[in-house]
Amino acid sequence: MEPTFFSFTNKEKSSHQAIGAVGYRHAGNSFNGSLLHDFELLVLVICDEAAITDLRIEHCISGSIQYQMRYIGKENLKQWVVAGENREIVKCFLHGEVIWDVGGEVARLRNELTGFGDSMRERRKLKEFAGFLRTYVEAKQYAQEKDFMDAYYSVLQTLKHYARIELIDQGIVPESSVWDQLRSLNTVAYKLFDELADSKETLEQRIELVLLACEFFVMSRMEDCCSVLLRALRSRKEAWSIQELIALPEMAHVKEELPMVIRKLVYRSLVKQTTSLTGDRWGETREIRYWA
């Protein structure tokens, strides 16, 4: 990394509580326009703020190099790893070159994310399983309607979630190039992806084959993938309303998919339901509540 980038150290530390910076240069002769916006270098300035909610970006030039500088809070990176968001930015942080680091904070944060601890893995696995269920159901619906092109697309997304779960099981943070990460592992998801893409069977037959494998995955892995949710359900004697579950901090990253996941767990007898009387403007109703 060019020494000229050390020149913004003091400025960033004072103005944004920065603890360090990581630079990621795009490989090859072309730029990744979707991420770097035609800049050959992305500089991530890591800040000590809990999380940065507003987008802070600067476009700069140093000598002959034009670069984009983006400010990120430490908690942003942790949240993105758990939620599977901003995978390109996470990749840049994990694989970029540390330009400067105050007290080794950036190195410790990178080790924490690379280590992918149990709590982080469980939450990310639930997120990917929820995405798996959603796209799997979509694919089945499209296939039943003989809409095989849309079914193919949904199946492909389902396999990506499957692949990320396999990476998580290996203690690997899933990145944007999930198939490159899986290639050397020769996993079930990669074999299904290869079958879906290159088999001589008809498109309908390929989709049916993958959907059968996905159905087996749902039956065999649901309890494991939903362990953090099941533990929350067992954390008190009283049954939970769906709104109470959605409000839990550890469920924030799956709140949109949580109703679907809960109903699937009930269907598979991993979660039980009961009812309680409630009063509202429609009169007496019985609210469904959940326990495990």
The model's pTM:
0.87
pLDDT in tens, 64-93: 888 889 999 999 999 999 999 999 899 999
Residue in the structure block whose two tokens are 């998580």: 168
- Residue 5, pLDDT above cutoff 80: no
- Residue 6, pLDDT above cutoff 60: no
Q: What is the average pLDDT across 162-167?
A: 97
pLDDT at 51: 63
- Residue 284, pLDDT above cutoff 80: no
pLDDT in tens, 114-153: 999 999 999 999 999 999 999 999 999 999 999 999 999 9
- Residue 2, pLDDT above cutoff 60: no
139: nearest Cα among 162, 123, 122? 162
Residue scoring higher pLDDT (48 or 180): 180
- Residue 282, pLDDT above cutoff 90: no
Lowest mean pLDDT among 29-38, 230-239, 260-269: 29-38
pLDDT at 37: 57
On whether the CB atoms of residues 164 and 178 are closer than 8 A, the answer is: yes
pLDDT at 4: 47
pLDDT at 280: 60
Structural domains of the chain, ranges and CATH numbers in brackets:
3-115 (3.30.460.10), 117-225 (1.20.120.330), 227-292 (1.10.10)
pLDDT at 3: 41
247: nearest Cα among 258, 261, 234, 262? 258
Angle at 78 between CA 75 and CA 80, to 5 degrees: 110
- What is the C-alpha separation between 203 and 206, in angstroms, rounded? 5
253: nearest Cα among 80, 89, 137? 80
Q: Which is it for the CA torsion 237, 239, 242, 244, positive or negative? A: negative
- What is the C-alpha separation between 209 and 8, in angstroms, rounded? 55
**Residues above pLDDT 70, as percent of the chain:** 88
20: nearest Cα among 45, 1, 38? 45
- What is the C-alpha separation between 94 and 23, in angstroms, rounded? 10
Over the Cα atoms of the chain, what is R_g? 23
- What is the C-alpha separation between 211 and 205, in angstroms, rounded? 10
The amino acid that residue 37 corresponds to is: H
Helices of type H across 9-147: 9-16, 33-36, 74-83, 87-95, 105-115, 118-144
pLDDT at 260: 96
Lowest mean pLDDT among 85-89, 196-200, 239-243, 284-288: 284-288
pLDDT at 102: 87
Would you place residue 45 in the very low, low, confident or very high pLDDT band (cuts 50, 70, 90)? very high
pLDDT at 27: 66
pLDDT at 29: 52
Angle at 116 between CA 248 and CA 220, to 5 degrees: 70
Q: What is the average pLDDT across 233-245?
A: 96
Q: What is the average pLDDT across 143-168?
A: 97
Q: What is the average pLDDT across 234-259?
A: 96
pLDDT in tens, 167-187: 999 999 999 889 999 988 989
User: Mean pLDDT over all residues of the chain?
Assistant: 88
